[in-house]
Amino acid sequence: MKYVLFILLFNLSCTTMAQKEKSGKMTKKEETPEITKTEAEWRQQLTPMQYYVVREKGTERPFTGEFWDHKEKGTYKCIGCGEELFSSETKFDAGCGWPSFYDALDKNKIKVNRDTSHGMIREEIVCKKCNAHLGHVFNDGPNPTGLRYCVNSASLGFEKKH
Ligand SMILES: [Zn+2]
């Protein structure tokens, strides 16, 4: 009888350990961005507007940013780390006052989080490399993707194609 009890206890502790290991792995999978800086460092690097958008998940006022009506050919990069995120090739006028793209250069460079702030359910987009808030992605974009990446100008830098 004692023996059976021992086996039972042993099994139980194994299960708990396995679960612990699993959840531990899951927290690890919640990848830390490649680039991490202190808030003081971010403040030094970014303008107050960029800091408000990128680090505090703010939104610039529509029709006020640098790129909503910007039509030059080139590449839009993350203002936090310089990662190339969007191309002028997929930029379109969504009429909303923010730069909009129907596709990303590489979906693996952008992380999508569920955002339930302001009483809405939206998909927040952040730069995977430095965790900069970019904006949101919606399902009402044009073909061929049907997506609309609505991005703050303050989250972006631009490199002109020569
Ligand atoms: Zn970045």
Let me know if 155 is exposed, middle or buried by CB neighbors in 10 A (0-12, 13-18, 19+): buried
Ligand 1 mean position, distance from CA 102 (Å): 19
Residue 10 has a pLDDT of 46
Residue 158 has a pLDDT of 98
Does residue 97 sit in helix, strand or coil?
Answer: coil
Could you tell me the residue ranges of all domains in the chain?
1-30, 39-160
Ligand 1 mean position, distance from CA 128 (Å): 7
At 115, give phi and psi (nearest 5°).
-120, 115
Ligand 1 mean position, distance from CA 9 (Å): 49
Residue 145 has a pLDDT of 98
Ligand 1 mean position, distance from CA 5 (Å): 55
Whole-structure pTM value: 0.81
162 residues of the chain, pLDDT tens digit each: 555 544 444 444 444 444 444 444 444 456 789 999 999 999 999 999 999 999 999 999 999 999 999 999 999 999 999 999 999 999 999 999 999 999 999 999 999 999 999 999 999 999 999 999 999 999 999 999 999 999 999 999 999 997
CATH code of the domain occupying 39-160: 2.170.150.20
Structural contact between residues 155 and 78, judged by C-beta atoms closer than 8 angstroms? yes
Residue 25 has a pLDDT of 45
Residues annotated as catalytic are 150
Residue 152 has a pLDDT of 98
